[in-house]
Structure 1
Amino acid sequence: MFKRSLATLLLSVPTLSLAAQQVTIPFNGLNLGANLAIAEGSSLSDNIVVLTHGTLAHNEMEIIATLQSLLSDEGINSLAVNLSLGLNSRQGMYDCAEPHQHKHSDAVAELNAWADWLATQGATQPIFAGHSRGGNQTAWFADTYPEKAKAQVLIAPATWSEDDAQESYQKRYRTPLDGELQRAKASDQSAWLDTAGFIYCENARVTASSFVDYYAPNPRFDTPTLLKTASVPTLVISGSEDNTVPDLPEKMPNVDNSHVTYYNIEGADHFFRDLYADEVIEQIVEFMDTLE
């Protein structure tokens, strides 16, 4: 449904280039994990950026680890969360062979749990940042709990349209999305379904409710649409060579909202590798300076 390339995603290798403290909190019978990086001479009451990864990914993938390291160099604390995707103490990429009972919308409640934990640690005004699908989920969180986010940074956030979702599913799985979606809607929502595909997992086993949550048409999946009513300061960063969300630069000029700042990085792809990551951090630092 979201425009992504599995081949591109798998290029992001799990690596963490700075010493980070592993943090675990309980949530709905699961343990949620995160990497907490405190910059030298800093404390959580000074600043904190909460980083959320993309689809079925994890908090030690290259882009997240790089951003944590560069933020630390700038004296900025960060918390890179690992969305549970319905699994206890999940680590690494989600295995497509694993049955799926997670939902896109689950991230909102999990980010809220991390916001509450940060408040107990003295970080009362966190900035939330997300990459790709995590950018869209971050925007959902800030829209739902604007009082808990000082600001948000959305890095190559996901875009969506119903036509694109239908076309993408048909092309990838050679099966109409409508048929799979209607079957899921008609099923007991707790029932397990064998599907032609789910996200980018072929022949996936998934609960009906999860399939409906990810695939039922919802304009909120389109981050620029969601940002038209954003009420928290927002920075959106895109890459001119991004083939995963290629229409983001076309859509952002249509967002007429004084809370939203948009910046396109020429030459950057979806993962902002090498010097492009430095440019992302430069934009984040400049944006944070405007919030003081």
Structure 2
Amino acid sequence: MKRGRTWWMLLLLLPLGMSPLHAEVIPQKLGTGVTATAEYRPGDPGRPAVLILHGFLQTRDFSTVRRLADAVHDRGFSVLTPTLRLGIDARAQSLPCEAIHTHTMDQSVDELAQWVTWLADQGHARIVLIGHSSGSTTEAIYLATRAHPKVTQAILLSLVPFGPGPLLFETEAHAAAARQALARGADTLGTYALAYCRRYPAPPASFLSYYDWSRTRMAEVLAEIEVPLHVVIGGGDQRMTAPWMAALRDSPAEVMVVEGANHFFHDMHEFDMLETVEPLLTGTP
């Protein structure tokens, strides 16, 4: 058993759903006057602050994100876990696929930028971004387009592009229908598919704001990121296609594989993922 593995296992066997000690829910008014929230746990001021962002339609309480936040904070780091608003004031629950989705990727990137600025305003001189799944996509776009100078590193878990692929339900036909609607000047509600959602009601512009972050476009984004970048993927993640893996390995990112793990690093692979992430945060081999 690797050094530290017993500690990770004991920590991760603790029940979910309990608010951690010393955590504070931070409300933040966005530019539109609505409220977004994040959970903040202060740690050692000499260590970087870590912002961890959840995946598609989820919240900061999603199991992969919650356990990672618990583990990182217990190692002494300040941790901020936002819940993206996704069109709902102070959203606290995951969104069902069948909800009406008017939110956009640009809005999520803007929210992320405001939370990074909030961390910097608390006096954190170094900020590390960790994302899971589409949270990694959001962070990559942010880093390539408007990164705060205090962001010093990014660790992107299960990073996959949008667009047709294994276990993803959007198709080129969905995108064509959305583009035709926009060409007619009709930005009214349509029914598409997106990510794991077989039915995704949204205006065409909202749908395309996600769909258009394709493999080619995301490869271009990764090439624009200037901070040290690590992509951690599960060796058993069926969403990882051969072309996307090739694009990742051609990018500036260090690609790290947790053998046998799925997209969510379930079961014992969660410990392996944490043992991969911790040295990146501490700078230890």
- TM-score of Structure 1 vs Structure 2, range by shorter chain: 0.7 to 0.9
Gaps of 5+ in 2: 1-14
Deviations 1:92-150 (CA, angstroms, capped at 9, x unpaired) = 21133432111122221111100111122112321111001110111111112232411
Gaps of 5+ in 1: 1-12
State the partner residue of 1:10.
Answer: none
Aligned-residue offset at 1:220? 6.3
Q: Which residue, out of 219, 231, 238, partners 2:233?
A: 238
State the partner residue of 1:70.
Answer: 71
The range that moved more, 144-153 or 213-222, is: 213-222
Give the residue type in structure 2 aligned to 1:276: H
Aligned-residue offset at 1:158? 1.4
Deviations 1:193-244 (CA, angstroms, capped at 9, x unpaired) = 132445444554322320231234655653x442233210111101101123
Aligned-residue offset at 1:151? 0.9
State the partner residue of 1:23.
Answer: 26
Indicate if the aligned counterparts of 1:23 and 1:33 stay in contact, CA closer than 8 A. Answer: yes
Q: Which residue, out of 253, 265, 271, partners 2:258?
A: 265
Aligned-residue offset at 1:181? 2.0
Rounded Cα–Cα distance in structure 2 between residues aligned with 1:240 and 1:274: 14
Rounded Cα–Cα distance in structure 2 between residues aligned with 1:218 and 1:196: 16
Indicate if the aligned counterparts of 2:165 and 2:241 stay in contact, CA closer than 8 A. Answer: no
> Helix, strand or coil for the counterpart of 1:195?
strand
Rounded Cα–Cα distance in structure 1 between residues aligned with 2:122 and 2:102: 31
Give the residue type in structure 1 aligned to 2:224: T
- The Cα RMSD (Å) is 2.8
Does 2:276 align with 1:276? no
Indicate if the aligned counterparts of 1:149 and 1:232 stay in contact, CA closer than 8 A. Answer: yes
Rounded Cα–Cα distance in structure 2 between residues aligned with 1:18 and 1:275: 22
Q: Which residue, out of 202, 206, 216, partners 2:202?
A: 206
Rounded Cα–Cα distance in structure 2 between residues aligned with 1:234 and 1:141: 13
Give the residue type in structure 1 aligned to 2:201: R
TM-score by length of 1: 0.80
Rounded Cα–Cα distance in structure 2 between residues aligned with 1:198 and 1:273: 23
**CA 1:220–1:24: 2 relative to 1, 3 Å:** farther
Indicate if the aligned counterparts of 1:238 and 1:249 stay in contact, CA closer than 8 A. Answer: no
- The count of residues paired between Structure 1 and Structure 2 equals 265
Rounded Cα–Cα distance in structure 2 between residues aligned with 1:284 and 1:154: 10
Rounded Cα–Cα distance in structure 1 between residues aligned with 2:24 and 2:227: 29
**Equivalences for residues 1-292 of structure 1 within 5 A:** 15-16=17-18, 18-19=20-21, 20-27=23-30, 28-39=32-43, 42-43=44-45, 46-146=47-147, 147-160=149-162, 164=165, 168-170=169-171, 176-188=173-185, 191-216=187-212, 218=214, 222=218, 224-247=219-242, 248-255=244-251, 257=252, 260-290=253-283
TM-score by length of 2: 0.81
> Helix, strand or coil for the counterpart of 1:228?
helix
**CA 1:262–1:204: 2 relative to 1, 3 Å:** closer
State the partner residue of 2:6.
Answer: none
| Percent of aligned pairs sharing the same letter | 23
